[in-house]
Homo-oligomer: A and B are copies of this chain.
Amino acid sequence: MNRHPVEIQIAKADKAIIAEDFDTLINIYTETAVLVVEPGRTVQGRDAIRKAFEAIAQYFKNGLQVKQNGMTILESGDTALVHANTVISAPNLPETERKAVYVFNKTKDGTWLCSIDNSYGNDIVKN
Instruction: Name the interface size band of chain A.
Output: 20 to 34
Q: How far is the CA of A121 from the CA of B85 in the complex (A)?
A: 12
Return the chain B residue nearest A29 by Cβ.
Answer: B76
Residues of B within 8 A of A42 (CB): 74
Residues of B within 8 A of A124 (CB): 72, 74, 83
Residues of B within 8 A of A1 (CB): none
The binding surface of chain A is classed by DSSP as: strand
CB of A44 closer than 8 Å to a CB of B: yes
Contacts A70-B125, A71-B125, A74-B116 given; 5 further ones with Cβ under 8 A? A44-B76, A70-B127, A76-B115, A77-B115, A101-B101
List 8 contacting pairs A-B, 8 Å CB cutoff, sorted by A. Answer: A34-B75, A72-B125, A74-B124, A79-B105, A81-B116, A83-B101, A83-B125, A101-B122
